[in-house]
Structure 1
Amino acid sequence: MAASKKPKSEEQVNNNNKVDHDHDDDDEDDVLGDNELSYIESIALPVISLEPATSEILDVIEGQREQISNAGDEELQLGGDNSNSDSDGQNGKQIEKPSHPKRRKPIGFLHYCCFIKELESPYEYSKGVKMWMLFVYAFAGMVPAMGSAVFYPSVHDIARDFHSNLGVINLSVGLYMLSLGIFPLWWSYLAELKGRRITYLISYSLFFLFNIGCARASSVGMLLVFRVLTGGAASSSQSVGAGALGDIYIPSQRGRANAYFYLGPLCGPLFAPVMAGALTERWGWRSTQYFLMIVSFASFLSILFGLPETLKKKPIPEDVIQSRKRRKEKNLIKYYAYLFFEYVISPFMALSLLKHPAFLFAISYSSFGYGCLYLMNTSIPQLFEAAPYNFSEIIIGLLYLPNGIGYITGSLVSGRWSDHIIKKSLKQNNGVLLPEARLGFNMICAGILVSSGLILFGWSAGKKVFWLVPLIGTFMFGFASLMIFTTTLTFLVDSMPNRRSAAVSVNTFVRCIVAGIASFIAFPLINALGAGWLYTILTGISLVFLVLQVYVKKKGPEWRAKMTMETG
């Protein structure tokens, strides 16, 4: 290791994105000045982790770790409770933590309504408070998932009500999923710019209102429009929630936290079909939309009164403030063009992460699994309402239970397993965080189980075998897919410590696009290929993606080192 090589600090790397303040006055005529573009990129684009952990740059890492240690970096030093001393879980040192966490001046939207006070360091919240906040995040994440699943048992009832066919009604499910994927790009940008709390409160207020439109829809077109709006409104939950977890949990605790968080989005399809089946049989499909209104209002109240702001806001540079002021005074049209770029176009900058192989391959596997999940959910009514099963709507709803039970048991295993792996890696690498360590034997086991569950469900349901056999396949798929989802999510959060919400929003964008497409094509593919051959093809694709994860684990540190150099 060359002793003469000077380490580059994170501050130096970030400063490379800035420009000289001595710019010409003519630059004010541009729609975006370089200083403003740099500021927008700092919000919209995740900063790549500066811990690439390859042998060529270990000296850089050592320099960073020394600087971080001297600065009292919270993520390396603070644990998850308020005890006076504890091990930091990464470098094995005993640290002293304040017995009374320091409060900060509240910055959250409607902060006076929240019973939990804001802290300078969200890592210092007690274990009980963190568990409550985790529950609020997970419950909020369950609401949009329920919004898609409530339609499964009631598609025939909706088709009869509007004198339409199943293909058109399934279009509402697909459009809902597409909006769930696209809109998080803006929600995550708002969360990084204005805060987590205000983003949640706005989105769930809109979700409540748009569900009134769904419940009162008088035509298929009106239903489709409001389904798109409800999906977009509720889509903040997963990207913002997963990013907020990174605000309060250190890396060695995030695996378990993300596993519990994912129970919300994945258990929505467990509870919603059961409730929807019973509600549809008793009061019709519109009652399911009123049910969503009740659930979303409960989530809104839990956020309003029980979720403090955890974001550490970056102050807007003075030169950006002055540049905006001069532009507004000089040319109002260009000023509004700048605002349009900042709030409408710039969130798409986060999609540039997909050019990096490590993120592309990891997100692709998670997205494919999510697409299989929605294809399976869409297939269940088609396969089990026909002879010889002839199940009623409420029984169809109950068929989703094994999948959900698989999610619950998977969460108990995957988070602990992932955290165990990362703690072992930290010890082996002198406290350096290697996100790729999570992509180990646990992912191989999960990939094999997912493939086995897919092929078991496809052939047994397609050949009309006794109903319990395909449900075993759904349980296996649910158990293993949660391991894949949570491991991938934690990998992304660990790799993007400074822009977690934006990183997760890209993951949500891709997987919901895939899920929406899967909802569109489920019926025609089953009719054309049969369930057995369709799920055989999906099994083969799943195994290909599994091999790619092994490649990510091998090449990931090198790829992250390259990303670090590209960003500064």
Structure 2
Amino acid sequence: MSATTLTQSPSTSTLAPFTFPSSNSIQKEETPITLEEHEKPLNWPTRKKGLTLAILGSYTFLSAFGSTIMAPGLTKMAIFTFHFTSETTGAFLVSIYLLAYAIGPLLLAPLSELYGRRPVLNGSLLFFTVFSIACALAKTTTQMATFRFLSGLGGSAPLAIGYASGTEIYVPAQRRTSGAILALGPLLGPVLGPVVGGFVTYRVQDWRWLFWTLSIVSSVVCLSGIPFLPETYEPAILAAKIRRMHTSSSEGQVSVRNHLLHSFTTPLRLLFTSPIVFLLALYQAIIYGQLYLFFVIFPSTFEQTYHERIDIASLNYLAFGIGFLIGLVCLSIMIKVAWARAKRSLPANVDPEPEVWLICLLPAAIILPIGLFLFGWSAHNHWHWTLPALSSFLFALSLLQIYMSSTLYLAQAFPPQTSASAQASLMLFRSLLGFASPLFGVKMFEGLGVGWGCSVLGFVAVCVGVPGSFGLWRWGRWLRERGEKREKREGHVRMVSEKDGVVENVVELVMRGEQRA
């Protein structure tokens, strides 16, 4: 469609939050209200897009950075402040952050579709900063767990909404680079968190400075990002324009309660009715849980097996970071080649099928368990420390390619009005398993040892990843088409009607106004 359009109505009222004309007012339209070409996010100048992407990337990095920065300080917390003796309690304080990751998107994703991406992202970042400060002041285990959960709620917004915002400012051919930048934050953040945390714990000898450091970084991101982050959601931009022109109608006002109720269930519905979403969510959940389990067992492996100091042991996390960076380069090259090859046989105005984004999924699904097996048995047999580091590199390289391929594929396989909810489905499932993995994983490694413990993880990754990756590559298009037919048949996109009062999706309202104009 050439323009996002809404019609002008004679009556005016305040938008709360998006106010669109009812079906009657659309029929009585006088003047169509459209966004100019330069107002659309896809047509923004390159500099503005770059600034927006940089801010979104800093938000996602900060959230993931906060998830693991406390890991090296758990021993000092247990001994000097909270006086717990169970390793499971320490793992719980780390992983409860991820439980908030699972819950937050169910509310924040639909809120961003009502109020726009900008206010939800900025408000959540402030919320995250406040409770990061509260963590530094916590005096009991209960307070720490509560504040960690609340800071995780604030931190969940960039991960749930950031990808949707990134796809709203770049055309599909450019999303390879933008998606890579946004994916680096959630992957590099958990890696650099323990590195910084290890040095702070060793040099300062006070675990509270882990959270003071996080709060300082978060405050800097707030000051540099909040004033400059523009709105990327086109219906929100249009609604703001209508508000400025005072032309909105009180008729057909979108019900916040009903919209939230409908949107709250959308990620759950997609998770259990779409084979694509379920499979990708399951696979991401498995590897995400394995990643956070690594962060719990990693320090003890190098401190106890290789007798390294905590600050030196934390440097081994950099193997993950190097793996992520090289994996990103490989992914970018392979997708670029696959995209160009698929594009040759298509008209200039037609993009390749979304399955082109899955080019790296199967190779990565094979490499990832190799890294798990190598880490487990090299540490079990006390082989040279470079072998566990190398296996961490292989694990990270393949994890990034799986994570990026599945996330970008999902963004292309679903329409914009459900993209944020589809991403929330992935985040819900992977965060729940990420929360649970350190809790049962610590006991598993205590019982089986690092060798067989990593082997169990490797076998699970093989059984799910290899057949699932091949299945999506081979039958992904058929599954997408089947899902689209089911959506049309079941009528999940609701329309505003004076007869039944059902709430219309914001995007569909805008499209309907354009068609009638």
Class of the TM-score when normalised by the shorter of the 2 chains? 0.7 to 0.9
Aligned residue in 2 for 1:421: 338
Distance 1:202 1:478, change over 3 A: same
Aligned residue in 1 for 2:230: 308
Tell me if the contact between 2:72 and 2:198 (Cα under 8 Å) persists in the aligned partners.
Answer: yes
Could you list the runs of 5+ residues in structure 1 that have no partner in the other structure?
1-8, 12-35, 40-102, 106-117, 326-337
Aligned residue in 2 for 1:259: 180
Deviations 1:226-278 (A, max 9, x none): 01000011101112111111011111221222112211111112322121112
Deviations 1:181-220 (A, max 9, x none): 2201211111111111111110011011111211000100
Deviations 1:104-143 (A, max 9, x none): 69xxxxxxxxxxxx94221223334333322221111111
Letter in 1 for 2:486: E
Letter in 1 for 2:222: F
2:391 aligned with 1:469, yes or no?
A: no
Aligned residue in 2 for 1:112: none
Aligned residue in 2 for 1:357: 275
Alpha-carbon distance in 1 for matches of 2:249, 2:336 = 41
Q: Which of 462, 485, 504 in structure 1 is aligned with 2:403?
A: 485
Tell me if the contact between 1:367 and 1:511 (Cα under 8 Å) persists in the aligned partners.
Answer: yes
Which moves more between the two structures, 292-301 or 203-212? Answer: 292-301
Distance 1:216 1:360, change over 3 A: same
2:69 aligned with 1:150, yes or no?
A: yes
2:413 aligned with 1:495, yes or no?
A: yes
Letter in 2 for 1:397: S
CA-CA distance at 1:547 after TM superposition: 1.4
Aligned residue in 2 for 1:187: 108
Letter in 1 for 2:471: Y
Deviations 1:139-169 (A, max 9, x none): 1111121112112211111111211122212
Aligned residue in 2 for 1:202: 123
CA-CA distance at 1:429 after TM superposition: 4.4
CA-CA distance at 1:301 after TM superposition: 2.1
Aligned residue in 1 for 2:436: 517
Deviations 1:62-119 (A, max 9, x none): xxxxxxxxxxxxxxxxxxxxxxxxxxxxxxxxxxxxxxxxx969xxxxxxxxxxxx94
Identical-pair percentage: 27
Give the match's secondary structure for 1:218: coil
Aligned residue in 1 for 2:161: 240
Letter in 1 for 2:435: G
Superposed, which structure 2 residues align to 1:4-83 within 5 Å? none
Alpha-carbon distance in 1 for matches of 2:336, 2:171 = 11
Q: Which of 31, 51, 55 in structure 2 is aligned with 1:136?
A: 55
Tell me if the contact between 1:269 and 1:400 (Cα under 8 Å) persists in the aligned partners.
Answer: no
Letter in 2 for 1:443: L
Superposed, which structure 2 residues align to 1:156-555 within 5 Å? 156-160=75-79, 161-165=81-85, 166-283=87-204, 284-313=206-235, 322=251, 340-343=257-260, 346-354=263-271, 355-386=273-304, 388-430=305-347, 431-440=350-359, 442-499=360-417, 500-544=419-463, 545-555=465-475
Tell me if the contact between 1:149 and 1:272 (Cα under 8 Å) persists in the aligned partners.
Answer: yes
Give the match's secondary structure for 1:306: coil
Tell me if the contact between 2:277 and 2:422 (Cα under 8 Å) persists in the aligned partners.
Answer: no
Alpha-carbon distance in 2 for matches of 1:366, 1:558 = 22
Deviations 1:259-309 (A, max 9, x none): 122111111123221211121123311101011111111222232233211
Deviations 1:532-562 (A, max 9, x none): 1121122122122221111112221111111
Distance 1:444 1:364, change over 3 A: same
Deviations 1:452-486 (A, max 9, x none): 11111111122322211101000111111111111
Q: Aligned pairs, how many? A: 446
Letter in 2 for 1:152: A
Deviations 1:498-545 (A, max 9, x none): 132222121111111111111212210101111111211221221222
Alpha-carbon distance in 1 for matches of 2:108, 2:468 = 30
Alpha-carbon distance in 2 for matches of 1:463, 1:225 = 40
Tell me if the contact between 1:200 and 1:236 (Cα under 8 Å) persists in the aligned partners.
Answer: yes
Alpha-carbon distance in 2 for matches of 1:305, 1:416 = 35
Give the match's secondary structure for 1:242: helix
Letter in 1 for 2:411: V
Alpha-carbon distance in 2 for matches of 1:422, 1:445 = 17
Letter in 2 for 1:271: L
Alpha-carbon distance in 2 for matches of 1:268, 1:301 = 20
Alpha-carbon distance in 1 for matches of 2:302, 2:391 = 15
TM-score, length-scaled by structure 2: 0.80
CA-CA distance at 1:177 after TM superposition: 0.8
Distance 1:253 1:240, change over 3 A: same
Q: Which of 474, 477, 486 in structure 2 is aligned with 1:557?
A: 477
Letter in 2 for 1:503: A
Aligned residue in 2 for 1:120: 39
Give the match's secondary structure for 1:567: helix
Distance 1:125 1:420, change over 3 A: farther
Give the match's secondary structure for 1:428: coil
Task: Please report the RMSD computed on the Cα atoms of aligned residues, expressed in angstroms.
Answer: 2.8
TM-score, length-scaled by structure 1: 0.74
Alpha-carbon distance in 2 for matches of 1:324, 1:123 = 27
Letter in 1 for 2:358: L
Aligned residue in 2 for 1:26: none
Letter in 2 for 1:217: A
Alpha-carbon distance in 2 for matches of 1:414, 1:125 = 27
Alpha-carbon distance in 2 for matches of 1:411, 1:213 = 35
Alpha-carbon distance in 1 for matches of 2:249, 2:338 = 43
Alpha-carbon distance in 2 for matches of 1:272, 1:225 = 20
CA-CA distance at 1:422 after TM superposition: 2.9
Alpha-carbon distance in 1 for matches of 2:375, 2:235 = 48
Tell me if the contact between 1:277 and 1:393 (Cα under 8 Å) persists in the aligned partners.
Answer: yes
Aligned residue in 2 for 1:92: none
